[in-house]
Amino acid sequence: MNTDIQLGVNIDHIATLRQARGEAYPDTLEAAKTLLALGADYIVIHLRRDRRHIQETDLQKLCRAFAHKVHLEMAACEEMLELALKYKPGSVCIVPEYPNELTTSGGLKIEEKDKADLKQKIHRLQEAGIRVSLFIDPKANSVRAAYNLGADIVELCTKDYSKAKTQKQAQTLLNEISLCSLLGRELNMEVHSGHGLNYKNVREVALIDAMQCLNIGFSIIARSIFVGLPQALLEMRTLLDRE
Ligand code: PXP
CB of 216 within 6 A of ligand 1: the answer is yes
Q: What are phi and psi of 115, to 5 degrees?
A: -60, -45
The domain segmentation of the chain, as residue ranges, is 6-240
Distance between CA 24 and CA 96 in Å, rounded? Answer: 29
Is 10 touching ligand 1 by the criterion CB < 6 Å? Answer: yes
Phi, psi of 45, rounded to the nearest 5 degrees: -135, 145
> Is the pLDDT assigned to residue 107 strictly greater than 80?
yes
pLDDT at 243: 78
User: What is the pLDDT confidence band of residue 242, given thresholds at 50, 70 and 90?
Assistant: confident
Name the percent of the chain lying above pLDDT 70: 99
Strand, coil or helix: what is 163? coil
- Cα gap 225→222, rounded to integer Å: 6
| N residues, the chain | 243
| Angstrom distance (rounded) from CA 174 to CA 147 | 21
Structural class in CATH, domain 6-240: alpha beta
Average pLDDT over the chain reads 96
Question: Which helix (H) or strand (E) is 42 found in, with range?
Answer: strand 42-46
For position 175, what pLDDT does the model report? 98
Pocket test for ligand 1, best of 137, 155, 215, 216 (most atoms within 8 A of CB): 215
Q: Once rounded to an integer, what is the mean pLDDT over residues 132-156?
A: 98
Q: What is the pLDDT of residue 1?
A: 47
Per-residue pLDDT for 20 more than 50? yes
- Which pLDDT band, with edges at 50, 70 and 90, does 2 fall under? very low
Asked if 88 and 69 count as a contact pair (C-beta separation under 8 A), the reply is no
Catalytic residue among 73, 97, 155, 190: 73
Verdict on whether the full-model pTM lies above 0.75: yes
**Average pLDDT, stretch 147-162?**
98
Region 107-125 average pLDDT:
95
Ligand 1 atom nearest 220 alpha carbon: 16
pLDDT at 99: 82
